[in-house]
Amino acid sequence: MAEPKSKGRVDLRIAAEDRELFDKAATAQRETLTQFLVESGRERAERLLADRTRFSINADEWNAIQAAMDRPAQVRPELSELFSRARPE
């Protein structure tokens, strides 16, 4: 059973060529235009947000990060001075 829609409608103004392209693509996928646009939009949104929330590194990069985190903290006088300043208002 389909999940009920809770956010309502989205009306789009698109060029006639885009509408024709979307209609053809939806038909090729055997989907309604709504199904095609929602799925396509969801995929793009997930890719876009994943680029901002997840990243991949190789084993050498991970080892370098771990080594940096395992090193004892170092006193950095310039940072101590910076963080001891009053906040500008």
pLDDT band at 54 (very low <50, low <70, confident <90, very high): confident
C-alpha 38/C-alpha 47 separation (Å) is 14
Average pLDDT over the chain, rounded to whole? 90
pLDDT band at 89 (very low <50, low <70, confident <90, very high): confident
State which amino acid sits at residue 36. F
Sorted by where each begins, the domain ranges of the chain are 16-78
By the 8 A CB rule, do 33 and 23 touch? Answer: yes
The closest alpha carbon to 38, from 18, 4, 10, belongs to 10
Our CA angle for 79, 83, 86, nearest 5°, is 145
The closest alpha carbon to 34, from 12, 53, 49, belongs to 12
Quote the pLDDT of residue 7. Answer: 75
Residues 8-46 have pLDDT tens digits of: 888 999 999 999 999 999 999 999 999 999 999 999 999
The closest alpha carbon to 34, from 49, 43, 23, 45, belongs to 23
